[in-house]
Amino acid sequence: MNTVNLVGRLTRDVVVRQTKQTGKNVASFSLAVKRPFSGGNQTDFFNCIAWDKVAEALSVHTQKGDLIGITGYIYVRKYTDKTGAEHTVTEVNARQIEFFPNGRSSSKNDTGNSGMRNSLNDEFGDIDGEEDDLPF
């Protein structure tokens, strides 16, 4: 079973693009997640994507430094860049997200999402998406 749950802070603002073939929204973001290490904590950084309504919700309701939780799966994709070099990338496909409103790292005012449910896993169904639809 390939399931991952992460709670961490966004390392940058979420970027949403549309796929070339289908026009679906895909968000890319990175999470900094603490893990225990002898005598303290270390931070791991995970590259993540989210599709469609989950992608839209992330871009509207989050910013760099916000604390969020995601549930999804890890996958590996391969691509060839413009120079012909082949690359392998490991990412987390976030299918469900949870916002932690008190986890904001800045003084950004919440306008319009104060009544929003914290968990989007019931509000949005499973996101269909293919790795081949990625715009990069």
Phi, psi angles (nearest 5°) of residue 88: -120, 130
CATH code for residues 4-120: 2.40.50.140
pLDDT of residue 39: 86
Residue whose pair of structure tokens reads 């994709």 in the numeric block = 77
Q: Is the pTM of this model over 0.85?
A: no
Residue ranges per structural domain of the chain: 4-120
What is the residue-wise DSSP string for 75-127?
A: EEEEEE-TTS-EEEEEEEEEEEEEE-GGG-SS-----S-TTS-SB-TTTS-PP
The per-residue pLDDT for range 8-44, each reduced to its tens digit, is 999 999 999 999 999 999 999 999 999 999 889 999 9
Low-confidence ranges of the chain (pLDDT < 70): 103-136
Contact 73, 3 (CB under 8 A): yes
